[in-house]
Amino acid sequence: MIWNALTSLTTLEELWETSVDTPVLLFKHSTRCSISTTALDRMLRQWKTEDSQKVLPYYLDLLNYRPISSAIAERTGVEHQSPQLLLLKNKQVVWTASHWDIDYSELWKYV
């Protein structure tokens, strides 16, 4: 799996628009959190190559880009968590999960 890095508010704005045509997956990750590392590893191990044709996966490093996380929470109304997955479709969050609730098979019910 290849995550696209979310490193700017400009890219975040572009993703809202992109979500009208293609679902966007945002993974908010803290490199200092063992739960976050485990959740990321589980996603990586279960990801199938063809999944990248169905959804655009983006990775947000919370330690380096916390203002982007704050912007996501403000825009969506979804309280910040770490780790956290958000699935965007049509400029809205259609599914979110955090910590141990991050589940690969559950995600695909909403894609």
Handedness of CA 74, 79, 82, 84 (dihedral sign): negative
pTM assigned to the model:
0.88
Peptide bond into 67 cis (omega under 30): no
SS3 category, 66: helix
pLDDT tens digits along 66-80? 999 999 999 999 988
CB 91 within 8 Å of CB 19: yes
Domains of the chain (ranges; CATH) run 4-107 (3.40.30.10)
pLDDT tens digits along 27-47? 998 888 888 888 888 888 888
58 confidence band (pLDDT: 50, 70, 90): very high
Residue-level pLDDT at 1: 65
What are the tokens at 38?
């485990």
